[in-house]
Amino acid sequence: MAYREVTGADRLKVVAYLVLMIFFNVITAVVLMPRAWPWGFIIWLIVCFCGSLFLLVRWHAKVTAYRCAACAEEYEISFFTDFISPHIPNMKYLKCPDCGEKGWAEVLMKVD
């Protein structure tokens, strides 16, 4: 699999998906609040939030890869690892499968 550096368009796409997720959850809350208050509202809001978060992380895990800061190995991670690993913009704290070092790996995009 080939990888490339993250571009401004890639960052914009992530922001757009985040805004879409937030918008979806706010609209869901506004629609459900008068109809299902209080417990139905809370349960449906949790379901919608968790579902949209699941879709966002699944998409991110499918389109990204990482480069180890210590050995420059490029590798992909699972959905679960993507979900639980701490991250900052363009970096994720991971353990390299090649050298075993833990550190901030650089985010890369998969090339189709």
Residue 48 · residue 25 · CB < 8 Å: yes
Residue 33 in this model has a pLDDT that exceeds 90: no
Residue 36 in this model has a pLDDT that exceeds 90: no
48 is written with which tokens?
Answer: 């919608």
pLDDT of residue 74: 97
pLDDT of residue 35: 83
Provide, rounded to the nearest whole percent, the portion of the chain with pLDDT above 70.
100
Residue 95 · residue 106 · CB < 8 Å: no
Full-model pTM: 0.86
Dump pLDDT digits (tens) for 43-96: 988 999 999 999 999 999 999 999 999 999 999 999 999 999 999 989 999 999
- SS3 labels along 19-83: HHHHHHHHHHHHHHCCCCCCHHHHHHHHHHHHHHHHHHHHHHHHHEEEECCCCCCEECCCHHHHH
| Strand 74-75 with 102-110, pairing | unpaired
